[in-house]
Structure 1
């Protein structure tokens, strides 16, 4: 009777290690941002034991992305932006840094828009007290950082649309900088539509100056930033896996 076990092909026996996951955060002068991102990476490591997970910042915090990539040498890496929409950092800064590094890299899509982000936004609103007033008097301002890139605004508007469909109330995107409307302007628009209870959904990955300024303009309840919600860790890994399905931006020269 033949054995049910087959010999392992030599190529399978020498499987290459998984490419490193490099989470690319923006960076912030607020110390809460770094501690939040660090805790989020710990969640990713808990979900995928054995996967090398590293952090690189675009600015303001160490380690900076070029230093993280330099430390990886010529190994494979997938860069996942801890950013919520397309914009200059996603389109130019991160790919440019990756191209200048010795690593063989793939650059993943930003986190948003994605239904998992809507899960997080809904949970954060519920934690803040959402759902305790009649729905026909409620509305939400989705407060985001803002960008001059029109694709970033399109992505944020898509998330607002998904959140509105989930909650069954109007959701207007608003921005802390570089785009309009501002949070106060969005609040006025919703008040003019007869919405008396206007919540602020913090579309920020971590606490910081923009999140704080937007919260101060909220007329009712304010949700916490996305932070270390478990779905954020799952989404980072999802973007990592998506990027692995695409070819690396640069391969090593043949031996």
Structure 2
């Protein structure tokens, strides 16, 4: 394994009782499997469906992952992302002392996503 700790990624979304709601998040997971076949990627949800963030992190650790980046797949930054999520990640880091957890900024704040969304919106009028 070339001396580097195995890395993993959690795509964290809000969650819904509607099973079709998960498709876009799972499509990102599938695309990541194509782009980075050796990367361990799990989807997780804050509420209303499984797996939870804690379960997804536990699965990655059981798979031998030592470093996990958590990517909030949220367009807007509300209370969940701003307040709840950092506290949850801090508690999970304490519960998994051998695991390095990093909380990435929400995807909705990324300039590339903003640009793609603007292009999609413009395409709707052509």
TM-score (ref. length: structure 2): 0.78
- Structure 1 counterpart of 2:79, from 83, 88, 93: 88
1:224-255 deviation line (CA, Å, top 9, x unaligned): xxxxxxxxxxxxxxxxxxxxxxxxxxxxxxxx
Q: Distance in 2 between matches of 1:125 and 1:116?
A: 14
Q: Distance in 2 between matches of 1:78 and 1:21?
A: 5
- Structure 1 counterpart of 2:15, from 16, 24, 27: 27
Q: How does 1:97-246 map to 2 (within 5 A)?
A: 97-101=88-92, 102=96, 103-128=99-124, 130-131=125-126
Query: Is the deviation greater in 100-109 or in 113-122?
Result: 113-122
Largest Rg, 1 or 2: 1
* CA separation of 1:96 and 1:85: change in aligned 2, threshold 3 A: same
1:34 Cα deviation (Å)?
0.8
TM-score (ref. length: structure 1): 0.42
1:33-82 deviation line (CA, Å, top 9, x unaligned): 11221112111221222111111110011111111112233722111100
Contact map agreement 2:6 2:66 (CA 8 A) in 1: no
Higher relative contact order (CA 8 A, sep 6+): 2
1:127 Cα deviation (Å)?
4.4
Aligned residue for 1:251?
Answer: none
1:126 Cα deviation (Å)?
4.2
Residue 70 of structure 1 pairs with residue 66 of structure 2? no
1:26 Cα deviation (Å)?
0.6
Contact map agreement 2:46 2:53 (CA 8 A) in 1: yes
Q: In angstroms, what is the RMSD of aligned CA positions?
A: 2.1
Greater helix content? 2
1:93 Cα deviation (Å)?
2.2
1:14 Cα deviation (Å)?
4.1
| Structure 2 gap ranges (5+) | none
